[in-house]
Structure 1
Amino acid sequence: MRESVPSFRQYPFSLQAVRELDELSFHPKVTYLIGENGSGKSTLMEALAVALGFNAEGGTINFTFHTKETHSELHQYLKPVRGPRRPKDGFFFRAESYYNLATNIDELDAVQSYGGKSLHQQSHGESFLAAFLHRFSGNGLYILDEPEAALSPSRQMALLARMHDLIQDNSQFIIATHSPILMAYPDSIIYELTEDGVRTTTWEETEHYVITKQFLNHSERMLHDLLTDSEDGD
């Protein structure tokens, strides 16, 4: 639907990843969107979720609440093409607006679907895990925007294990993340949003993996260089 775009000079169509995007094929198990801040990951995730019928602030297709209309018009120009399998469950998990979702869940008295305890009465990370462990039921489509935001490394690995269980139960994940732990799922595809558009890459080639590995293996030298550069700049 590129021919319907009013102008590629205005947001969100001015984002390089959007401007160069024509078609994106999703892996039947896990698709990752990665890239620098401002590259358009969350914008694409939001537009995809809304185009598929999810609430812009998160939840299932049955959630209709909104606190502020901030999502872009990009969803109007996407044409999702579904495969023959129809998911029986689905969820748009958005770290940025999860507080708003948790509030609406309390108002609807729907906490039983999330482990039986108000998400507001748990730590941020525990409330994230409550959705992954209790609300995600399998045979579903799960769109996750930066789910690692409140998770410790061990909890990120717990999420990976949960994803694997759900994938074995015919689930599909689309995930925007900065976490080299979360993007390590082996049966997947990684799309990197760059200044030149969208390209496929491998886990070991991602900047997230390379920099994390370099820092862990050479932390003393890298810290020296970083802090010396910082002092020189003062």
Structure 2
Amino acid sequence: MKSQDIGLLLKLISLEHQENTPSQDKGIFTWPHDWRDWEGHSDSNCIDQHTFLPTEDSEFLNYAYTTRNLQAETGIGKTQISESLRRCIDIGLAKKDRQFGVPRANKKALFEFIVSGIKYVFPAKLGEVTRGIATSFAAPILQGDIISSGELIPVWPDARGTSKGQAVEPLFKTVTLAIRKDPDMYAMLALIDSIRLGNARESNIAKDKLKSFLE
């Protein structure tokens, strides 16, 4: 299993939610008004909404789950996406939807893996001070749930990020691209970082929030 497999599964979860929530303004999580922690919101290379906003369910299904769109949404290469899907299906973390034929994440199994194993398989640690995008307890999804004691915040290194803190290596290489395109990806990946970093209090809050969402 590779770390990008987790990123792809999270994207499948976000897409499934979009099928049931047609408005582009309604994500899985409730966000503050200004949730973006980077510069250049209007830049065409930094899309701050889902790249595909369908008007019909069939149109969405015919496009959203294509390898081409999954690549555009996550930054993961087409060949890697195909290999990731095959791996995830083989180990039970994904399956084909019987009605529509599109790939679905096994949310229960994925949550079990995240809470029990992700910090051991894909560990994270704080590094040098850098500019980047807030993650873990400093991300918007956990604002108001955790009060910082004044220490440097964790960030994904990014030249266009607006926060300064200690570097955390993203779960997969293209995390900062994927979150710009999908606020729910930002939320889920930040929550997972709280679990990966291993602080008990922050990890428990992140697990509860992630569980309520995945269920």
Q: TM-score, normalising length from structure 1?
A: 0.25
- Higher CA-based Rg: 1
Q: TM-score, normalising length from structure 2?
A: 0.26
More strand by share: 1
